[in-house]
Each structure stands twice: as structure tokens, then as C-alpha cells.
Amino acid sequence: MDYKEIEADVKNILSEYRFTHSIGVAKKAVELAKIYGVDEEIAKKTGIAHDVAKEMTNEEMQKYAILNNIEIDEIESAKPSLLHGKIGADIASKKYGFTQDMVNAIKWHTTGRKNMSMLEKIIYVADKTEENRNGIRFDLEKSKELSKQNIDETLIFLMNESINYKIKNNGLIHPKTIEARNDLLLKCTKIK
């Protein structure tokens, strides 16, 4: 499918608020793709589709996951909204014909994971730093500036902020986020 077809489909599925966010992610993904040498059209398509399952109810997500043999881990069982990445990836694969890298970028855009591809990193960062975000959980301006200079340092910063926010609010931290952060730290040799 071309971008306009995907955008129209996503617009029919999501609320105006979530669609505006998705447009912002697509725009930011293109900006980052230019900097980090990723195909801009692929980044744009992945960005617009990343939250296609976000507004499903918890019950709908659990039912979809079971019907489509999507593994639900312990944290996702406790917080089913985390499943929107895995479900969105499944939808993008089946409905839009996305490549495995695009599917993975959607699948891991919330938690991150060890050994992220550049497209996965771009969608993760774009989701957190697009122009419509309010920066309540972290320093949005710092992350936007950092994203133009070093995407791995941006990921570490965003993951640190997310983990700190969840700790302060007694929230669950997905193990994939910890694995992703540690992997990035090991590769960036910023271990303290």
C-alpha cells in the first residue's frame, strides 16, 4: 500500500487526537530518517501506522492477541495496553504488507528491545519526541535536540526518563526496556 492509503485507513480507525499524534510521528520519523540514512518513505509509513491498535480496549487487545497467537507476557497481562505494539505490528504486516523491519519497529516502539535496528530506534524516538507531545514525563526539548545528534544517546535518555517516571509512580517497567537500555549502554561504552 502507498502512504496515502495507509494514512486514510489509520484516520478511519483512530480518534482525531491519536491520528494527529500519528501524523507527528510520521513527520518526525522522516526527519530522523534523513539524519540516520533510513528510507524516508518506509519511516513515514511506519510512523503513521505505529499506533493503529492503540485505541482498542484492553478486552479487544487480549482477544485479538489470543485469536492471532500473539504471545502475552506477564507485564502485558497486567497492563494490556502494552499489547498495542504487538497487535499493531500484526495488523501492519497483514493489512499493509509491511516488511519485517517495519513490523518490528511498530512491535517495539513502546518498550524497545535489545539489538534495535535503526528504523526501530527512529520510530521509538519519533513516538516520544514528535511535535504534538507535551513533555510531561521528560525534557522534551533536550530529547529533540539530542535526537539530531546521537540516536543511541537519545534512546538511553528517553528510557532513563521513562524508567524514572515509572519508579516515581510505582509503575511496572517492562523487562524489554531494561534489556534495550543495557544493550545500548554496553554498545555506547557509557557504563558507570
Per-10-residue mean pLDDT, the chain, length 192 = 96 96 97 97 98 96 95 93 96 97 97 97 95 72 85 94 92 95 86 53
Specify the pLDDT at position 137: 66
Q: How far apart are CA 65 and CA 68, in angstroms?
A: 5
The predicted pLDDT at position 91 comes to 97
Torsion of CA 14, 20, 22, 27, to 10 degrees: 160
The pLDDT assigned to 167 comes to: 94
Cell of 140: 522534551
Q: Give the type of residue at 104.
A: N
3-188: what fold?
Hypothetical protein af1432 (1.10.3210)
pTM for the structure as a whole: 0.94
According to DSSP, residue 13 is labeled H
